[in-house]
Structure 1
């Protein structure tokens, strides 16, 4: 996220600022950068009643803040920034503020949210919601090309990639074009930026050979994997629940032939199903197509799990709901 705080002041938030810092040192820029990570907190408040929670604790309206926009506010006498960003596919907000006031702000939001059923969830809930929302996540469902530069973010250097997929073209097999993720239609392209010509070419090139789709994994096959440790026979790799913390890429087959790669496999407590994303050949992306996912790294007792192509998102996307039509508390 890039928030504009003033004409010449911006706040960049991401998994790390490594690539931004590296790029800034590659040229002559009329800019200065400072890492303020230790000085700031970010709290996420997500869900249909998130606006009611924040309007209650702020004693102010947030109806004018559109999706992916922000404004400043005062909460408990502390200056904060309120960003509307629905990472859960629901209406949602982020509250940014000074670290020394984090505990105070946390308690104020928690107490204001109690009448609205606010629950405190950990970081493991966020990536589950991303898959339910059909959102491909940087470093989990694909890797950016910056991952092979000296400025690669720390999270891309922490270890290997799990799963059954074996790259044939090196690390580039983990890259994804915006057109493959359905992102090529975004932006107005009225300014110059790195990669503009390539994106414009993809816009006019017609349908891409592979696209992003959803997969619903067969529950009987998943249950057999989870119960493998309670029976005789070779032990497949365990299936971490609700999902593995890092990147995992699994080969997708149709009639024994590779047609794509599944990522983000997660148990959805909302859908009561095991789901994932898949970058898959267009001709096999039709909803209802039966595929097979290869579970387990090469050299382990691999299993084949049946799956069916599903539409994305897995549940309704309410991020851009018109809050001016919602009732007030």
Structure 2
């Protein structure tokens, strides 16, 4: 009989970390085109003119509702919920959840959309944790999966991001009436062609923009109006290449290993998760290689999310985080890859002998793994992890969002990282690992006022 739960899968493996390293990618969460025109022009649009990305299809959406829904969320989330408790919707929150040891399970965007009603949008690894606790905990709260990216049905809502220096000019013409002034991560309601629409203040490539969502029936009409108005402002639709690489300049850590695999208190959760769950099918890639799955975990501090932690309420992981928060050992940085070394990796394809690991343009993650971890070195010692790499045309640089030991986090510090993968996956070609030089830089790396290339 095969394994039925995540816990059974884990018990059948000598090392869960090594098992994940040998796993290939058997799912593809980004169900929109790689590019609509060309990824370079789409990258440039978000920095120079305006871009719109259709986020309606590639993220799971769950509803949490009930008299104690906010109590459930506050028990699991490290965040401050006072505003949600005391002010009216709509509101948004970057919901960050940790395990009892203070390591991150993940973060998704929580939308407070009505009395005792929330939607949580993003990666299912966080949504599953919420659902499990709603089912097994002592809270008067219910959850429902409204949409999953592999569903055959349409999502309940359209979701568009409109970004770039001309984004708000476009939206001023798109909305019925006057566009309200919506600050970053604040929310308001707007009407578009008579459709009541939620609007979240957002940003990409250091320019303000909006994320809007409303009833899916209006998807085509709303998108058509945005594109029609946007023609005069140089708008482009953004495919996944430009969308995913935009997060690198922002310094967002995408999809790190959820910290659920070894803690005894989470055994019930692992028995609740199926053997076919995303948590049971992770694929680790990159040069960092450890037998201990906890070496792939991250803290809120090294993800630059300590500002989200509110110790004025009880939540899972509070005691552990209280001990760790003032003892920060690593911090988030951007690595700027040495251009000559990158060029030399490509040059290896035109020389006799072994070649180096091919570098995909413009984005690397999810090509042969769902989670990328490269080993960063200084004077021969491992000092951190290069986590999320990609190329930004408007910077003319390869970058990676990374975490390094605090003593090496000063901008300008010169380091190296190992480019290669010896996991033996069929999707990894034969290659010679190589050290690439890099310079530590601040994060976010892309900031307002910088000229586009």
TM-score (norm 2): 0.64
Query: How far apart in 1 are the matches of 2:279 and 2:364?
Result: 15
Secondary structure in 2 matching 1:109: helix
2:374 to 250, 270, 277: 250
In structure 2, the residue matched to 1:307 is 438
2:249 to 132, 137, 147: 132
In structure 1, the residue matched to 2:143 is 33
Quick check: 1:226 aligned with 2:343? no
Query: How far apart in 1 are the matches of 2:171 and 2:260?
Result: 37
Verify the 8 A CA contact 2:176 2:193 in the aligned structure 1.
Answer: no
Question: What root-mean-square deviation, in Å, do the aligned CA atoms of Structure 1 and Structure 2 show?
Answer: 2.3
1:145 to 259, 271, 274: 259
Greater displacement, 55-64 / 7-16: 55-64
Verify the 8 A CA contact 1:226 1:238 in the aligned structure 2.
Answer: yes
1:163 to 276, 286, 290: 286
Q: 1:159 to 1:190 in 2, by over 3 A?
A: closer
Verify the 8 A CA contact 1:19 1:146 in the aligned structure 2.
Answer: no
Secondary structure in 2 matching 1:274: strand
Verify the 8 A CA contact 2:341 2:437 in the aligned structure 1.
Answer: yes
Q: Superposition pairs for residues 43-62 of structure 1, below 5 Å?
A: 43-62=160-179
Verify the 8 A CA contact 1:18 1:154 in the aligned structure 2.
Answer: no
In structure 2, the residue matched to 1:276 is 400
Q: 1:32 to 1:88 in 2, by over 3 A?
A: farther
Verify the 8 A CA contact 2:335 2:438 in the aligned structure 1.
Answer: yes
Q: 1:155 to 1:125 in 2, by over 3 A?
A: farther
**Aligned residue-pair number:** 312
Greater displacement, 101-110 / 71-80: 71-80
Query: How far apart in 2 are the matches of 1:105 and 1:248?
Result: 36
Q: CA deviation at 1:104?
A: 1.2
Quick check: 1:113 aligned with 2:235? no
Query: How far apart in 2 are the matches of 1:89 and 1:180?
Result: 22
Query: How far apart in 2 are the matches of 1:114 and 1:129?
Result: 22
Greater displacement, 96-105 / 86-95: 86-95
Verify the 8 A CA contact 2:205 2:447 in the aligned structure 1.
Answer: no
TM-score (norm 1): 0.87
Secondary structure in 2 matching 1:48: coil
Q: CA deviation at 1:136?
A: 1.8
Unaligned runs of 5+ in 1: 319-329
1:100 to 217, 220, 228: 217
- Of structures 1 and 2, the one with the larger relative CO (CA 8 A, separation 6+) is 2
